[in-house]
Structure 1
Amino acid sequence: LRHCIFQCLSTAAKEKRQFTRITEAYLESNTIIALQEDRFLETENGWLKMNLAISKNSVDTSSYISELCQQKNKDYEQYYPLVKVLSDRNSINNTRLMADLEKTLYPAKITDATIPTFVIPIKPWWAQNLFDKELAEATLFGAKEELALRRELVYYRSRKPSGGLEAPGRILWYVSKDNDSENSSYIVSAIRACSRIDEIVIGKPKELYKRFRRLGIYEFKNVLQTAKNDLEREIMAIKFSDTELFSKPIELIEIQQIVEQKVSFQWPYRITPNAFSIIYNIGTSNLTEK
């Protein structure tokens, strides 16, 4: 159900529709809960959600929302409080508040917010099975169907070096090159997607697998391999959601020019808000309004 809602929001944003409205009069309780979790607001005639395909700083986002609220629909006025919050310069330094607003306005990105953003390397096989539909379609069997219907997933990695990973935050997925991808026509050694970091948990293989086994393709043997087959070694679980695939992958040379560092992305790498803004705008060039 939540995946269907996510697909509706994503489609609406791609089509430059700023709002999604649910007008069905009789909804089951689990549907109402799902809508509330996705920040739909109740109106006289149903439910309403703002979904903005924009990438702007906080002040410009505030102005954009203000203009939308002035349209001849009183339901839109429920979003007026966001105008004030986003126009307050102190708000951009409140990481949790800004991350929460990005979730409320998904897929909008508030480019000057102090939301920590990390480039995280991932091998093509894991990428295609966790989120990258294009890579999956290039393989013989494609991605697992049940995984394609999930919007919350987990990725395991070694605990260190962590690059300062923290939640809430953003991930830019850098799909690395491996032997299987060398002859592929699809672009690797590139940033191919963006996700939201919901939670980071450190723990031993068994406890992490028990906690997150429903969120992904990992079997216990895969989790144990991440811990170098040591049941007592602590590893990291990154819970992420709402992944956006980029229409234009950003290759390594271009990334290095943007971050002004000759990095190779062997582990998570934190980037500045300005670097994130540039990379995100390039990656979603056909979808977002700057």
Structure 2
Amino acid sequence: MHITNIISQYFGKFAKTEFPSFFQKIINGVYAKIFKLDLSEFRGAKYYKSLTDLFTRELAIAREIDEDKEVFISPTDSLITQCGNLDEDLALQIKGMEYSFEELLTYNCANNFDKLKNGTYMNFYLSPRDYHRYHAPCDFEVKKLIHIPGKLYPVNLKYLNKQIDLFAENERVILECIHEEKLFYMVFVGALNVGQMVFEFEPKVETNTKIRDIQIYDYEEKFLKKGDCLGYFKMGSTVVMFWEKGFVELENLLGQSIKYGQGICKKLV
């Protein structure tokens, strides 16, 4: 097990501990102040029973989402660190740092590589201050979930600029998705500190454990609606989306902070 996994497991034990109420309020308040949490759509920091509870908080006020059926919405509150057209199989984790989606998705998705080449992609970075639940970007069918154990390097801009193939080295969960017979992938990348990801439609998934083998779950008629909560990160991380060639046209969002529910691209057909 890599040192990043060990550190994350120990921090995870602290984060999920429910301390006495007065002490927990102090922990939550300090965290909210340090990371400048905007809790206007949530309960106050003092109401959460643990740091993990605060971090994985649910919206207390329903958020409006773009209901246009031709539009994909952002699955998360995040910073768009990179997006654009794939160069064959190459994407950017950050400017100047290329990686192959084939390495990220692994041979388990090889039958779809040709569809993805020269398609489009977008990277969503979730900072410690962000809302950490992730949602369905459109109505879609989940065909496959692939859990790939790995390291848990930080995914902030500093590490994206220095760690080659960071996304492909870190633990991740891949969703293979179909929308109106078109293919897209969502890749949820684990990160330092806790490193756990939860998927509400698949409770068998356990990340940052002693599991070292790739786990694959296949589905028949597993449908999700636009805006459905898919699950949540138990500390900051990244989502990467890939669309097959000719599927969507991306909005120009590079370097922008966006919210779950905001439109990120439109279907071309």
Is the shorter-chain TM-score for this pair beyond 0.5, marking a shared fold? no
Higher strand share: 2
Highest RCO, 1 vs 2 (Cα 8 Å, sep ≥ 6): 2
**TM-score, with length taken from structure 1:** 0.27
Higher helix share: 1
The structure with the largest alpha-carbon Rg is 1
**TM-score, with length taken from structure 2:** 0.29
